[in-house]
Amino acid sequence: MALSKPTDFIYRFVGAYLERLYSNPLRTKAVTSCILASLANVLSQKLSGAKQINKDNVIAFALFGLFIGGPVPHYFYTYINLFVKNPLGLFLVERFIFMPCFQALALYTLALFEGKSHKEACKQMERMYLPTVMSNLRYLTLLQFLNIRYISPMLRVLVANCIAFLWSIYLANKRNKISKGKA
């Protein structure tokens, strides 16, 4: 009986999440993305050995998740599904059109949210864009394919958020290295 308590909590938590996802998908995705991006940034800083957490960096990732990382994919997947019904077609559009554009937007807006000027943001994006896109293609393509092909649409957002969490850790770490001139 006592062992069922954690399982009950998980079921209630996932149920509440799915209920909110159904009733208010945009807000749920934005808040989820905000929380996961913030946590990923904190974890990335801790893994890289930071003595103190760079709060500006965490806030930049939180703002990105809230205003870009949740809403933009929400609208993309909402409207692309109207035009592309085949999972392979959706996968190809996501990998070769949406993802490169989204990565550019992510790198630029993260730099702006950190307080950099337009010129500095563009310069940082130029340095990071190609390595980031290539890494995304290399490391996340299989996960995205499995998510699009085999995960039910109702749970796709949850799986995508888990993938985004891992990607945010990678991206925060890569941005930190580039800003310090190590990569």
> What are the tens digits of pLDDT across the range 3-61?
567 788 889 998 999 899 999 999 999 999 999 999 999 998 888 888 899 999 999 99
pTM: 0.88
The DSSP 8-state label assigned to residue 175 in this structure reads H
Query: Does residue 165 lie within any of the structural domains?
Result: yes
Q: Is 92 exposed, middle or buried (0-12, 13-18, 19+ CB in 10 A)?
A: middle
Query: Does residue 71 lie within any of the structural domains?
Result: yes
Query: Does residue 14 lie within any of the structural domains?
Result: no
Render pLDDT for 111-148 as a digit per residue (tens, 0 to 9). Answer: 999 999 999 999 999 999 999 999 999 999 999 999 99
For residue 153, give its domain range: 26-181
Query: Does residue 46 lie within any of the structural domains?
Result: yes
Query: Does residue 174 lie within any of the structural domains?
Result: yes
Query: Does residue 51 lie within any of the structural domains?
Result: yes
